Amino acid sequence: MKKVPIVSIVAACSGMGKTTFLEKLIKEMVSRGIKVGTIKNDAHGFELDKPGKDSWRHAQAGAKATAIIGPDKYALIQTMAERADLEKVAAMLEDVDIILVEGNKKGTQPKIEVIRAEKGREVTVPEKDLVAVVTDIKDLAVDVPCFDINDYQGVADIIQEKFLLSVPEDKVGELSHFDKNGQVRIVDVTEKAETTREAVSMGEIWMASETFRLVAEGKMAKGDVLAVARIAGIMGVKETSRLIPMCHPLNIGAVHIDFKLDEKDSKVEIECRVKIKGQTGVEMEALTGVNIAALTIYDMCKAIDKNMVISNIRLIKKTGGKSGTYLREE
């Protein structure tokens, strides 16, 4: 039997709207063809077995287990000597791809925490268990992906990426972002030695000759395009782990973004060089820096030139780490 991933949707207290959020998340995931099972973790009992109901009367008469069967569903109630283990209950759910639990803050399974401004800003889930935060607070600072309270698609995306994507068994060993069961993971780098690592990437943005002239002369209406793009590229480097799900948050050592103006072809060439002393490389950070710088140029010039083309974004060089030096042959 396959092991079904379990993810809890939790909140610090009641009234956060986690039930409403979970309801809409379920609808989004079901619309993608995902078979969702759910468990409501409630310490106060549940309505199905409340006093006066047939199932309650059966239990009062001495039945240890009671099942209710309807035309299109069934329910099973079994008396336990102590509170049921979540994993044991989850194992009873058949033919589902994932189990979403409402509640269970104390469990060790992965969690998504719902935080509302009216109830406070504190993250209560331990960092090791926290997958993402869902909130209506615009500036909440967290070290995991942070989604708007209405972004059900974004949360469904990250659940799919982290828990539902799989690869053939014979390919698992070739892809370090997949574990032995073919499930997505962040690579464990805790045992790696810290070394000096550097990555260099490049890309281009092509534009009309008049657009190029205004950029080169710093006369674009929105301001100095290249100065803003340089800042945006640096910010993009620092935010890479928030944009690319499997990237580690890194303490970047240095970022340099340079531009080369090619008047003949009316294009700006972008180079991003990122350096770190750490346990993992910065290739993705360098590539992200180029992308964000190019997109910023486009944004600042699109009012007069929507035909600009961003192209040829590639890794040029990387050094450091176990795999050594890579140098693109062009």
The model's pLDDT over 159-190, given as tens digits with 9 standing for 90+, comes to 888 888 654 444 444 445 655 555 666 777 67
Query: Mind listing the pLDDT tens digit for each residue in 188-240?
Result: 767 666 788 999 999 999 999 999 999 999 999 888 999 999 999 999 999 99
Q: What does the pLDDT read at residue 172?
A: 44
Residue-level pLDDT at 60: 83
80 — pLDDT class (breaks 50, 70, 90): confident
Q: Which of 42, 188, 299, 305 is catalytic?
A: 299
Which residue range is the domain that position 152 belongs to?
A: 6-164
Backbone angles phi, psi at 116, to 5 degrees: -115, 140
Task: Grade residue 33 by pLDDT with cuts at 50, 70 and 90.
Answer: confident
- 330: pLDDT strictly greater than 50: yes
The whole-number pLDDT of residue 41 equals 74
256 and 320 housed in the same domain: yes
Residue 226, classified by CB atoms within 10 Å of its CB into exposed (0-12), middle (13-18) or buried (19+), is buried
Q: What is the pLDDT of residue 140?
A: 87
Side-chain half-sphere CA neighbours of 197 within 13 A: 26
Asked if 8 contacts 110 with a C-beta cutoff of 8 angstroms, the reply is yes
Kindly state whether residue 185 falls inside one of the protein's structural domains: no
Percentage of the residues of the chain whose pLDDT score is greater than 70: 87
Q: Is 175 contained in some domain? A: no
- Helix (H), strand (E) at residue 11: strand 6-11
| b/e 188-202 (16+ beta carbons within 10 angstroms → b) | eeeeeeeeebbbbbb
Last residue of a domain, one of 164, 185, 205: 164
Q: Give per-residue pLDDT as tens, 296-323.
A: 999 999 999 999 999 999 999 998 876 6
Domain with residue 37: its CATH number is 3.40.50.300
Rounded-to-integer distance, Cα 150 and Cα 13, Å: 19
Of the listed ranges 2-16, 93-107, 161-175, 267-281, the least confidently predicted one is 161-175
pLDDT of residue 289 exceeding 90, the answer is yes
| E strand map for 42-176 | 65-69, 74-78, 98-102, 111-115, 130-135, 146-148
The SS3 assignment for 254 reads: strand
85 noted as active-site residue: no
Q: How far apart are CA 211 and CA 217, in angstroms?
A: 10
CA distance to 37, 99, 197, 233, 252, per residue, from 27 (Å):
12, 14, 44, 37, 39
| Beta carbons of 98 and 7 less than 8 angstroms apart | yes
Least confident of 92-106, 109-123, 235-249: 92-106
For 6-15, 45-54, 281-290, which range has the lowest pLDDT when averaged over its residues?
45-54
Position 171 in a domain: no
The encoded tokens of residue 3 equal: 């092991």
- Say yes or no: 200 and 160 in one domain: no
Residue 170 lies in a domain: no
| Domain count of the fold of the chain | 2
Query: Quick one: 134 and 262 in the same domain?
Result: no
**Domain containing residue 256: CATH number:** 3.30.70.640
Q: Are residues 101 and 41 in the same domain?
A: yes
Q: What is the predicted pLDDT for the residue at 167?
A: 44
Residues 298/304, Cβ–Cβ less than 8 Å? no
Q: How many CB atoms lie within 10 A of CB 187?
A: 16
Shared domain check, 215 and 99: no
Nearest to 49 by CA among 78, 80, 69: 78
94 with 159, same domain: the answer is yes
Task: Give the pLDDT confidence of 250-266 residue by residue, as tens digits.
Answer: 899 999 999 999 999 99
